[in-house]
Amino acid sequence: MDRFTPLAAALGGLLIGLSASALLFLNGRIAGISGVLGGLLQPDEGGRGWRGMFLLGLAAGGFVLLVLHPGALEAAHSSGVGLPIVSGILVGVGTRLGRGCTSGHGVCGIARFSTRSIVATCVFMAAAILTVYVSRHLVGVGA
């Protein structure tokens, strides 16, 4: 975290909070990325337009970041392509088991004082801490 700046973190948090609030107040929807994507992929789900635009906006934000700061998304270390693929699949399975993701539970759910989201976020964080410890200190991946 050698590039951490409090101002950038505060602005990023403010933008996340504003976008999640805007989606809730203007569309009545929670900004949970797994739910947005899952609804877009359902054959009979309504609201494809806003879901597609939401996800397109996420990708566009990453593209703008790459244009303005080309090195901003460089990986700290290279682990090949297999580990990110397996990790992505496990995250997808976890969001289905937890009935939501960190954005839905951690950002929006905690802000609404949802007990279920608070518990889910605590479980997410405990699993993340355990995963990093095991992978870095016991297995030696990413060390």
Residue 142 pLDDT more than 80?
A: no
Average pLDDT over residues 23-34: 86
Check residue 2 and give its pLDDT.
60
Q: How high is the mean pLDDT of the chain?
A: 83
Q: What total number of domains does the chain contain? A: 1
Q: What is the pLDDT of residues 50-98, one digit of tens each?
A: 888 989 998 898 889 889 888 777 765 566 677 778 878 888 888 888 7
Residue 27 pLDDT more than 50?
A: yes
Domain membership flag for residue 113: yes
Check residue 1 and give its pLDDT.
47
Model confidence at 138, pLDDT cuts 50, 70, 90, reads: confident
Domain membership flag for residue 94: yes
Domain membership flag for residue 52: no
Check residue 89 and give its pLDDT.
83
Residue 126 pLDDT more than 90?
A: yes
Domain membership flag for residue 34: no
Domain membership flag for residue 10: no
CA neighbor of 125 nearest in space, from 93, 109, 102, 143 = 102
Q: Which domain holds residue 121?
A: 77-143
Task: List helix spans (H) across the chain.
Answer: 6-27, 33-41, 48-68, 82-97, 110-111, 115-133
Domain membership flag for residue 33: no
Check residue 143 and give its pLDDT.
54
Average pLDDT over residues 44-52: 81
Domain membership flag for residue 68: no
Domain membership flag for residue 136: yes
Contact between 117 and 125 (Cβ < 8 Å): no
